[in-house]
Amino acid sequence: MLLGCVMLPLLGVPLSPDEWTRLALIVAAGILYFGAFLTIGIAVSAMTVRSSSAFLGLLVFWIFAVLILPRSAILIAGRAVDVPSLDDINAKKFRYSEQLFAEDRQKMAGFTPSKSGDMRKMVEEFQKFMGAIGDERQKKMDDFSGRLNEERANRQAVQSTVALGIARVSPSVSFSLAATTLAGTSLSMKDRYLQAARGYQQTFGKFMLDKTGMNSGGGMVFRIRTGDAEKPAPIDTHELPAFVDRPAMLADVLPPALTDLALLALCIMVFFAVAHAAFRRYDLR
Amino acid sequence: MLRTLILKELRAILASPKFAATFGVCSILMLLSVFIGIREYRTAVRQYDEALELAAQSLRTQPSWMGLTTTTYRAPDPMQIFIPGVSNDVGRLSGINGSEDVKLKNSTYADDTIYALFRSIDFSFIVQVVLSLFAVLFTYDAINGEREGGTLQLTFSNPVPRSTYILAKLAGSWLALAVPLLVPVLLAVLLVMLYGIPFGPDDWGRFGFFLVISLLFFTFFISLGVFISTLTQRPATSFLVSLAAWVTLVLIVPRLAVMAAGVADPVPSVAETEAGVDAFSKDRWDGQMKEMEARWQTRQEAMHGMSKEEREAYGREKEKEWSADDEAGRVSVQKDIDAFAVRVNEDLRNRKSHQEQLAFGFARVSPASAYQLASMSLAGTGVSLKSRYEDAMREYRTAFTRYVDRKQKETGGQGGFRITVDSRTGFHFSAPRERGTLDVGDLPSFVPPVTRFGETASGAVIDAGLLAGFSLMAFAGSFLAFLRYDVR
């Protein structure tokens, strides 16, 4: 493990002090996990007479802890909490979007400019009209999508809580969760990134609105050009706000990881107590 | 004699706690994995049917043939119940349109990350990891354990040929371990039939072959355990050596092979390749815009000196010709981009394929890798799954875009609705299809590639042969080593 840590800077992987601390905690979690299996081994050894029986018992325990329990927990959680599939959600979104667009097409067909004759003003008026109905449609769609996504995310969260709650009976799950949480690669990684991307979407949208006076990505733009028109200068993209994906920090990941670290410590204590009690009554002959 | 020795060995194993543990663990694991597999397969089928219905509905409600897009989905395969392979990692769907290349996205693990956390325990994994470990446990003290207990010397005080004894040891262990595999397999088959999973003759053929290679795989570990037992004097030593061999063959070699192939034959990342295609695409579309501007200038110059009415009349007269010119330009650019993307993707795929072959070549040193490759090949859930589907989807994309272009020409529609701006009368909306749906009855439909027993079996034959070779070598090794074994 230490050699692996030494290799990181040598292979050009720079780690910040925060990351070194998290790595140290992952190593600590590994030691706790190792300790848990060590005490389980001693406990089983103290409870059996033959080494082959102890080995067999431990192998069966290992298979249950590492292979059977985690998957069974997910199976039980899947049965207990029904999460709609993404295809279900997309189907609902699609139907609603179609409904909104059909309504807007009626409005478009009924559009009449107030001032006929002045082409430029008519186009401006039309753009304003299209922008308004586009914004309204987008808002309705965003609200609807938001509700569906939130409902799915909530159900997924409940399902995860149930699954992980059951699976944490296994020390290997506790270790796996502690390590991935500390590394910032746990289940919450996707949500964290999505949250950052959504935040950036709003910043970007506001920037575009300030810059162009219209929402990006929607509506349509009429560009009236004549032959002698001056070619527009290329845009300066340096002004664009940059997307920053804030990495997981120690302060964020430590509290959720503490539960699993505590569970591993508890596992050591419980099995040490079992080993202690079993050995006190052990027949030494 | 042989029969008596086999029965003695079998009785000894069947009465031991290790048999009860193996049988219990294997039964629970296999039935759990098959039950989860059936549940996931049924969910996948339901989602697939819903998604197809949604795609069909989406096609019918699109406003016109212009820019018509659809989505194709990967069909669930019942064999993924036993061997999911990479099917949960590979995307489930791809958009089909004239401007974007086919790319599978939205994998099961990406949609529902909780499944990615603990991965799946499938039938092949249980055989590869658990059953092989139990095979080592069954045989690590097969010979030296008997020697240490003094029973080996006692046996050979009778006229027992050594070759018969070692054969009986191997056969007895093999039969004892076949029970914990075959009984849950029969129950799993029953579950599959009870749940009404559509298993055709091809699927049964593939499943049967999969069982054969599973038996070959654990035959190797039984022979290896006996071989190591004949090479060492103490069971503790043979256990340690067997465990080290198991860890090396099952866990280290397959991963090391992939790493070695990555170093020996590096391949550019997908992101790099996509960036290259994007840059080319942007360049070509920029060029197209310039050409369009130039054409527009030429048209303006042609109308120079005309009155407003003459310009409008000229515009109306030339509208179709200009539109056709612009469309031809667009089609030509899209064709160039498609051709470039095909070239780049083909190059990437060739290099990846070469790297994969190198990795598989290295990995096949381990019977565990040979077994995994053979089982995934039989199930059609190996690394070729992605390219097989993407190839079929690309073919479909060609047929789809050709059909849409033809329909568009036939109907003459340029878009969903047309907005006409007139300086006197204002805006007018017209839609070619205000009501009703597009008739997509004759639209070519995507047919998922079918994995036939013959094709998959031929892909698995090399690995099955390797497994047989490894087993034979380990068997020959244990046989020869035992002939010279000091039974005292």
Contact assignment for B47 to A71 by CB distance below 8 Å? no
The tokens for B86 are: 């990479």
pLDDT tens-digit series, residues B47-63: 899 888 888 888 877 76
- Domains in chain A: boundaries: 15-221+241-280
B232-259 per-position pLDDT tens digit:
989 889 999 999 999 999 999 999 999 9
DSSP-derived pairing of the beta strands B418-422 and B93-96: unpaired
DSSP B120-158: ---HHHIIIIIIHHHHHHHHTTTTHHHHHHTHHHHHTTS
**Residues of chain A contacting B39 with CB distance shorter than 8 Å:** 75, 78
Which of A51, A58, A62, A67 best tests the B interface by mutation, with the highest count of B CBs <10 A? A67
Angle at A198 between CA A192 and CA A203, to 5 degrees: 125
Task: Provide the 8-state DSSP code for A67.
Answer: I
Q: Is residue B455 part of a domain?
A: yes
Reported as a pLDDT band with limits 50, 70 and 90, residue A90 is confident
Confidence class for position B78, pLDDT limits 50, 70, 90: very high
Long-range contacts of B114-119 (CB under 8 A, 24+ apart): B114/A74, B114/A77, B114/A156, B114/A159, B114/A160, B114/A163, B114/A187, B115/A74, B115/B88, B116/B88, B117/A70, B117/A176, B117/A180, B117/A186, B117/A187, B118/A70, B118/A71, B118/A74, B118/A167, B118/A173
What integer pLDDT is reported at residue A151 of this predicted model?
Answer: 92
B297 CB within 8 Å of a chain A CB: yes
- Helices A171-183 and A69-80 pack at an angle, to 10 degrees, of 80
Give the pLDDT score at B206.
92
- DSSP 3-state assignment of B95? strand
For residue B36, list chain A residues with Cβ-Cβ distance below 8 A: 71, 75
Given this model, what pLDDT does residue A231 score?
Answer: 61
Strand (E) or helix (H) holding B421: strand B418-422
pLDDT, residue A228, reads 53
Q: For residue B298, is it within any domain?
A: no
Residue B435: the pLDDT is: 46
Closest CA relative to residue A67, chosen from A148, A172, A142: A172
In angstroms, the separation between the Cα of residue B464 and the nearest Cα of chain A is 27
Asked if A219 and A134 touch (Cβ cutoff 8 Å), the reply is yes
- In chain B, whose CA is at the least distance from the CA of A126? B427
Least trusted range by pLDDT, from A8-12, A46-50, A104-108, B433-437: B433-437
Q: Which of A174, A140, A166 shows the shortest CA–CA distance to A32?
A: A174
Taking the CA of residue B123 and the nearest CA in chain A, the distance in Å comes to 12
| Whole-number pLDDT of residue A68 | 84
Q: What does the DSSP 8-state code read for residue B32?
A: H
Kindly state the average pLDDT of the residues B199-206.
90
Cα separation, B41 vs B120, whole angstroms:
13
Chain A contact for B121, CB < 8 A? yes
Beta-carbon contacts of B214 under 8 Å, excluding residues fewer than 6 positions away, are B124, B127, B131, B181, B371, B375
Assess contact for B408 and B66: CB atoms under 8 A: yes
Residues of chain A contacting B50 with CB distance shorter than 8 Å: 85, 87-88, 91
User: Do B380 and B207 touch, CB atoms closer than 8 A?
Assistant: no
**Count of domains forming chain B:** 1
Q: Provide mean pLDDT across the span A16-28.
A: 92
pLDDT grade, residue B109 (50/70/90)? confident
Answer whether residue B316 is part of any domain.
no
Cα–Cα distance for residue pair A163/B117, rounded to 1 Å: 11
Domain that holds residue B223: 2-100+111-251+448-483
Cβ contacts below 8 Å, chain A against chain B, sum to: 108
Give residue-wise pLDDT tens across range A220-265. Answer: 555 555 545 556 677 777 888 888 877 788 898 999 999 999 999 9
Contact B18 A156 (CB under 8 A): no
Residue A269: in which H helix or E strand, if any? helix A250-280
What lies within 8 Å, CB to CB, of B301 at 6+ separation is: A227
- Percentage of chain B lying above the pLDDT 70 cut: 94
Does some domain include residue B418? no
Residues in chain A: 285
User: Searching chain B, which residue's CA lies closest to the CA of residue A93?
Assistant: B54
> Are residues A184 and A257 in contact, defined by beta-carbon separation less than 8 angstroms?
no
Per-residue confidence (pLDDT) for residue B370, from 0 to 100 = 95
Query: What DSSP string describes B232-287?
Result: -SSHHHHHHHHHHHHIIIIIIHHHHHHHHHHHHS----HHHHHHHHHHHHHHHHHH
CB within 8 Å of chain A, chain B residues 18-37:
18, 21, 24-25, 28-29, 32-33, 35-36
Model confidence over B302-327: pLDDT tens digits? 888 888 888 888 888 888 888 888 88
Residues 6+ apart with CB under 8 A from A179: A26, A29, A30
Q: How far apart are CA B267 and CA B348, in angstroms?
A: 7
Question: Does pLDDT of B421 surpass 90?
Answer: no
B285 contacts chain A (CB < 8 A): no
Contact criterion met (CB < 8 Å) for B29 and A68:
yes
Question: Is B436 among the domain residues?
Answer: no
Distance CA A261, CA A259 (A): 6
* SS3 of residue A132 by DSSP: helix
Residue A277 has pLDDT above 50, yes or no: yes
Q: Which of B343, B334, B331 is nearest to B284 (CA)?
A: B334
Chain A hits for B72, Cβ within 8 Å: none
- Write the residue in B24, B112, B118 that is nearest to A71 by C-beta: B118
- Residue in this structure with the two tokens 């629970």, named with its chain if needed: B28
- Euclidean distance between the first and the last CA atom of chain A, given in angstroms as a whole number: 40
Mean pLDDT of B400-418: 74
Two tokens, residue A135:
């914004």
Residue B280 belongs to some domain of the structure: no
Q: Do the Cβ atoms of A109 and B28 come within 8 Å? A: no
Judged by average pLDDT, the poorest of A92-106, A169-183, B126-140, B464-478 is: A92-106
Q: Is the pLDDT of residue A134 over 60?
A: yes
Tell me the C-alpha to C-alpha distance, in Å, between residue A18 and each of A3, A21, A247, A251, A254. 20, 5, 11, 9, 11
Does residue A213 or residue B318 have the better pLDDT? B318
C-alpha B34/C-alpha B420 separation (Å) is 62
Residue recorded with tokens 């067999």: A56
Look up residue A16 and give its two tokens: 């910040």
**Top-confidence residue, A142 or A108:** A142
| pLDDT at residue B416 in the model | 56
Mean pLDDT over each residue of chain B, to the nearest integer? 87
Task: Give the one of A57, A98, A187 whose C-beta lies nearest to B61's C-beta.
Answer: A98
As a whole number, mean pLDDT of residues B68-94 equals 91
pLDDT over threshold 60, residue A218: no
Of B390, B34, B15, nearest in space to B189 by CA:
B34
d(CA B312, CA B305): 13
Nearest to A66 by CA among B116, B21, B247, B118: B118
